[in-house]
Amino acid sequence: MICYECQQSSNRRDAVALCHHCYAGLCQQHAFVLEDPVTAQYPVCQTVVLPLRARLFLCSTCRTALQQTSDGVRTTPWELPEPEPSGHKQAPPR
C-alpha cells in the first residue's frame, strides 16, 4: 500500500499506518501520532480513565477536521499537537 497524501503529490512512499478516521494509508511523514485515552465502565455509571493510552494515527485532513468546532471549544478527547512549520510534529510513542 502506498501513502495517499504522497500519491496526491505524484510521489510514491510506502504506507506504515492507516488514518483512524478515514483509513487512508499514511507514510511516516504524513501520519500524526496521537494518544487515545482508554476508559472502563464500572457499576453505578462511573467511567474511569485508565493509566495507559492507546496509539492513534490521523491524516492531516482528518486532524484538521477534528480540530474545528463551531464555538471554538475542542470536543475531541485527544491532545492534537500543533504542526511545526517545517513539517508534522509527532507525539512520542508510549
Q: Please say whether the beta carbons of 67 and 80 come within 8 A.
A: yes
> Domain locations in the chain?
4-67
pTM: 0.65
Per residue in 49-93, pLDDT (tens digit) is: 889 998 999 999 999 888 886 565 655 565 555 554 444 545 444
Label residue 16 exposed, middle or buried (CB < 10 Å: 0-12, 13-18, 19+): middle
